[in-house]
Amino acid sequence: MFDPFFTTKEVGKGTGIGLAISHKIAEEHGGSLRSIDGAGPGACFQLILKSEASV
């Protein structure tokens, strides 16, 4: 689902670039974005950002 233009939404509804761009932005800043197992309904994502100490 992080692939550019991957979407499960119907034609005209989804662009499939939201997660791809978010993932790229996270990586460009030395971090990461991934989906993880989460409790309950919905989706759970983990965004890791570099701390000042590691720059």
Ligand X SMILES: Nc1ncnc2c1ncn2[C@@H]1O[C@H](COP(=O)(O)OP(=O)(O)O)[C@@H](O)[C@H]1O
Interacting residues toward Mg ion by CB under 5 A: 18
The answer to whether the CB of 5 falls within 8 A of the CB of 15 is yes
Cα distances from 36 to residues 1, 21, 45, in angstroms, run 13, 18, 6
What is the per-residue binding string for ligand X in 24-53, x denoting contact by CB under 6 A? -------------------x----------
Task: Decide if residue 8 touches ligand X (CB under 6 A).
Answer: yes
Task: Give the shortest CB-29-to-ligand X separation in angstroms.
Answer: 18
Residue 55 binds which one of ligand X, Mg ion, none, with CB within 5 to 8 A depending on kind? none
- For the chain, how long is the longest CA-to-CA vector? 45
